[in-house]
């Protein structure tokens, strides 16, 4: 059931989602993405370079955020543009619980060619972790 | 030491092809916890009009970043990678990456600037398939931090 451009209004909220992230998540993501920077899995190293703890890959946070859009639209190929700014790291403590990335999104603009601009908001621990986070999606 | 702005516009030769495998896409989808069947089930992907399983939107970063290594490790440019954080990232898609794609990346330095003592380097990777058709453009800004600043 594809989302229809004509039925979408500016301000329409997409279903918000929460994404947990633990040390195990980061190890798995490091392997899958090929980004083995130790700041994402080695606490001693992270502290030595001045970070508060091991931090999530920015690209992991970016990957989670767009899931709010791709789950809404169904076909991930509908995403024609996607950009974010990494404004703040997501520390992931080694307590078995980790961190949570909260993502909400809304239709910000209706563009031509049945496209819409979606503005995303990603926070963790009450802090905004992505800035200028937006996607352009072509709807049915 | 600030980076030399005369490197703006420098292009690097296209990389050797990266072959996109179904199992690599599956591994990536599991790693981000995304159960969209278009990533793992070829029939579901075909029902959406794709040739085979497709990759999640941020998957091309891994390919583009590997290609950007030509810039990051260019001894003439002299970037201090130990101080680098990822400042921002953008993708412009013509189509999703699909299993079976053989992708090459042509890298260009789009911008170099100095902001509050930080070196800010913008690198664009044009990702094309084996027929030369554009698949996705990946634009990344890398920030070599002088002291404390924004980043992932």
To the nearest whole number, what is the mean pLDDT of chain B? 93
pLDDT at B150 over 60: no
Chain segment A111-126, per-residue pLDDT in tens: 999 999 999 999 999 9
- In which residue are the tokens 């044009």 written? B126
Tell me how far apart the alpha carbons of residues A133 and A119 are, in angstroms, rounded to a whole number.
6
pLDDT at B148 over 80: no
pLDDT at B151 over 80: no
pLDDT at A1 over 70: no
Chain segment A10-32, per-residue pLDDT in tens: 999 999 999 999 999 999 999 99
Average pLDDT for residues B53-78, to the nearest whole number? Answer: 95
What is the reported pLDDT for B147?
53
Task: Return the closest-CA partner of residue A29 out of B41, B84, B58.
Answer: B58
Kindly determine whether residue A79 and residue B66, on different chains, have CB atoms separated by under 8 Å. Answer: no
What is the reported pLDDT for B1?
60
* Predicted TM-score of the model (pTM): 0.95
DSSP A2: P
Task: Give yes or no for B27 touching A (CB within 8 A).
Answer: yes
What is the reported pLDDT for B51?
97
In chain B, alpha helices (H): 22-31, 42-47, 60-72
Dihedral-angle region of residue B107 (phi above 0 means left; psi in -120 to 50 means alpha; beta otherwise): beta
Chain A residues touching B37 at Cβ < 8 A: none
Looking at the partner chain, which of B36, B62, B139 has a beta carbon nearest the beta carbon of A70? B36
ipTM score = 0.97
């Amino acid at each position: 059931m594809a989302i229809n451009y004509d039925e979408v209004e500016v301000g329409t909220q997409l279903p918000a989602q929460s994404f947990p992230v633990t040390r195990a998540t980061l190890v798995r993501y490091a392997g899958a993405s090929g980004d083995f920077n130790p700041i994402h899995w080695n606490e001693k190293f992270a502290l030595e370079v001045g970070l508060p703890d091991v931090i999530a890959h920015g690209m992991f946070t970016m990957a989670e955020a767009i899931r709010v859009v791709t789950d809404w639209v169904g076909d991930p190929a509908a995403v024609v543009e996607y950009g974010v700014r990494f404004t703040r790291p997501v520390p992931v403590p080694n307590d078995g619980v980790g961190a949570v990335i909260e993502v909400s999104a809304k239709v910000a603009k209706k563009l031509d060619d049945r496209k819409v601009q979606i503005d995303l908001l990603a926070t963790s621990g009450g802090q905004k972790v992505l800035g200028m986070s937006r996607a352009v999606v072509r709807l049915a | 030491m600030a980076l030399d702005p005369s490197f703006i516009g420098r292009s690097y030769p296209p990389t050797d092809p990266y072959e996109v495998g179904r199992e690599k896409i599956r591994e990536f989808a599991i790693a981000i916890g995304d159960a969209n069947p278009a990533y793992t089930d070829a029939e579901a992907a075909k029902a959406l009009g794709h040739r085979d399983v497709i990759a999640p939107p941020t998957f091309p970063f891994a390919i583009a970043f590997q290609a950007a290594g030509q810039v990051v490790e260019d001894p003439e440019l002299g970037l201090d990678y130990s101080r680098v954080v990822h400042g921002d990232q953008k993708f412009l898609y013509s189509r999703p990456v699909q299993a079976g794609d053989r992708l090459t990346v042509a890298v260009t330095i789009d911008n170099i600037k100095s902001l509050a003592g930080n070196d800010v380097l913008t690198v664009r990777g044009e990702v094309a398939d084996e027929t030369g058709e554009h698949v996705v453009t990946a634009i990344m800004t890398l920030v070599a931090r002088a002291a404390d600043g924004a980043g992932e």
